[in-house]
Structure 1
Amino acid sequence: MRGLTRQQIEHYRREGFVAVPSLLSEEDIRLVDASTAELAEETDAERIADVFEFEHEPVDGKRVPRRLYNPYEQHENFRKLAADERITDRVVSLIGPDLALQHSKLNLKPARVGAPVDWHQDLTYFPHTNDDLVAVLIYLDDATERNGCIEVLARRHRRFLDHTLPDGTFAGRITEDLDEERYGAPVKVEGTAGSAIFLHPLAPHRSAKNVSVERRRALIYQYRAADAFPIYTGPHVVDVENCAHHIRGERSPVARFGGPQPVIYRPDGHPKSLYQLQEMSQK
């Protein structure tokens, strides 16, 4: 097994995340590039809208994509990578041998316009019966503060933070004051292409707008223990579960309950992505 080291596991448990350098090779990244380019060749307008989400700001007069929806569903190469033991062995170190893929996405963060992502906790979007989930965020380009690397509030993954607007609707972002005196300074997790961040589902994180001339792509696989089951918060859960897949080990016939008691938010409407939900709540 290529599991995490004891020190890495301890760091994850204590801080809510751990960074692993050189998880993927240059060849792996070239394969992802080729698969994404193949999907971008789609010419049907309806089909392309189901595959890519676009930035609001054009670059040189052209629309640029900011997200590839559900890459696992779109191409065999993404399915192979989701089950790659270099990734899943390390996930097993954190949440046990029986794994499912909860969802996947590829954030493209293009140069000069790559949209920001506000502070949030992943598990507020998809509460489960326990918190044994982990996101594996793999940088496909060198990630720096200027091009919008991930920032994490360390040691704040023990409880749900407030994500509601004054009228009680789900904002998709943390709405309580995250002053540094109380919560500490964010950790900017920079990394070279191929490095990965293993992120607890309650670790608050964000990324700034890409103000550089370099893109900053990140492939994200969200895994869950086989006995972590989604809690129904609306019909969108059914759509998400259609993209969930058992990956490794045994399936579980029972749900396990544990972790912080989840706050149950019901989104207003059916935004297709975190970007859209946060933009709606900002208005």
Structure 2
Amino acid sequence: MGTPLTLEQVRQYQTEGYVVVERLFDARDLARVEEAISELSQKALASPEIMGEILELEPELVEGQPVARRIFNPYDQHEAFQALARDSRMMDSITSLIGSNFNLQHSKLNMKPPRVGSAVEWHQDLAYFPHTNDDLVTTLVYLDDATVDNGCLQVLPRHHHHFFEHHGPEGEFLGKISVNLDDGRFGRPVPLEAPAGSVIFMHCITPHSSLPNTSSRARRTLIYEYRAADSFPIYYGEMTATAESRYRPLSGSPATQARLGGPPPLIPKVGRYSSLYDLQSRSSKGETR
């Protein structure tokens, strides 16, 4: 049986752009996901011809072996991920934030392995996939205890009603915010440390990032993006086409009209589909033009 978010939790989400619900899932819930991760990882690493459909690897080897940094589209890869996305605790929480008519936009699993876990630079999710309104919720399920040392998520509160620039001087989409958010001009970033099983509910425009994992412990995060049924993509290109192929109906009735709302969205200028890691890396090297 699920439990909706409290009024105080909903108020924090609306005001700050995020809310942390500690230990929403227990050890038994996480054990099923652990088994699925192990199964998918072994399958991918044993079959190079399908690896790119399942995993993205860290650029560095660890003790001479490849290490996964992301599982693509886990919702469609294993029923354990579907069960968690549809769990009543998750569904009722989403209903508290955007109503009972909503769908799954996409899913991914960031592995953040010990000592080599890649950093994620500051960005806003909706800059990647603009929609007719901003009723999209990014949920991050912590599969491990998350701390500053192992590269936990950090957010910039109260900046979820406007976009920061994500484009370079020639209009190229960088996949990251192009101004410095670490110098204090826009407030102090808040690291979201929490135990395994906790869930971060984050507005789709909340700026966020994470540091590299410098610890000896993994920091895996399962991410589901939910969107209101009447929120539709407004830019059609390879990025959107790929994202829409991962859309799945979840709750309520299909919308027959698009609802308009939120700040004017950015339109990404992207030549080809890229993962966040790849796009941020290429933009740092000036390869996105």
Q: Which moved more, 1:155-164 or 1:234-243?
A: 234-243
Please point out which of 265, 269, 273 is paired with 1:270: 273
- Are the aligned partners of 1:135 and 1:221 in contact in 2 as well (CA < 8 Å)? yes
Q: Counterparts of 1:114-263 in structure 2 under 5 Å?
A: 114-178=117-181, 180-263=183-266
| Equivalent position of 2:15 in the other structure | 14
How far apart in 2 are the matches of 1:2 and 1:109? 30
Cα distance, 1:39 vs. partner?
A: 1.1
Secondary structure of 1:265's match?
Answer: coil
Partner of 2:56: 53
CA distance in 2, matches of 1:17, 1:214: 25
CA contact (8 A) 1:169 1:268 kept: no
- State the partner residue of 1:280: 282
Given that 2:171 and 2:269 are in contact with CA atoms closer than 8 Å, whether structure 1 keeps it comes out as no
Give, in whole Å, the separation in 1 of the partners of 2:184 and 2:129.
Answer: 30
Q: Look up the equivalent residue of 2:101 and give its one-letter code.
A: D
Shift in Å, 1:240: 1.3
Match of 1:32 in 2: 33
Once the two structures are TM-superposed, the CA of residue 180 in structure 1 deviates from its matched residue by: 4.1
**Which stretches in structure 1 are left out of the alignment for 5+ residues?**
none
Give the letter aligned to residue 67 of structure 1: R
- Check conservation: 2:122, 2:181, Cα contact below 8 A: no
Q: CA deviation at 1:251?
A: 1.1
Query: Aligned AA for 2:281?
Result: E
Q: How many residue pairs end up in the alignment?
A: 282
Q: Secondary structure at the match of 2:61?
A: coil
Compute the displacement of 1:179 (Å): 5.2
C-alpha separation in 1, matches of 2:183 and 2:18: 19
Match of 1:83 among 81, 86, 96: 86
Does the Cα contact within 8 Å between 2:151 and 2:219 map onto a contact in 1?
yes
- Give the distance between the partners of 1:179 and 1:152, measured in 2 at CA: 11
Structure 2 unaligned spans of 5+: none
Amino acid at match of 2:33: V
CA contact 2:144–2:218 (8 Å) conserved in 1: yes
Instruction: Kindly state the Cα deviation for residue 238 of structure 1 after the two structures are TM-superposed.
Output: 1.6
Q: Would the aligned equivalents of 1:140 and 1:219 in 2 still touch at CA under 8 Å?
A: yes
Deviation at 1:48, TM superposition (A): 1.5
Normalising by structure 1, we get a TM-score of 0.97
Aligned residues of 1:170 and 1:268 also touching (Cα < 8 A): no
Counterpart AA for 1:13 = Q
- Give the 3-state SS of the residue equivalent to 2:181 in structure 1: coil
- Cα deviation, 1:162-186, whole Å, max 9, x if unaligned, reads 0011221000000023254421110
Normalised by the length of structure 2, the TM-score is 0.95
- Distance in 1, matches of 2:55 and 2:93, equals 29
Higher deviation after alignment, 261-270 or 47-56: 261-270
Q: Which region of structure 1 is more displaced relative to structure 2, 175-184 or 198-207?
A: 175-184
Once the two structures are TM-superposed, the CA of residue 274 in structure 1 deviates from its matched residue by 0.2
Q: Does 1:107 align with 2:74?
A: no
2:254 is paired with a residue of what secondary structure? coil
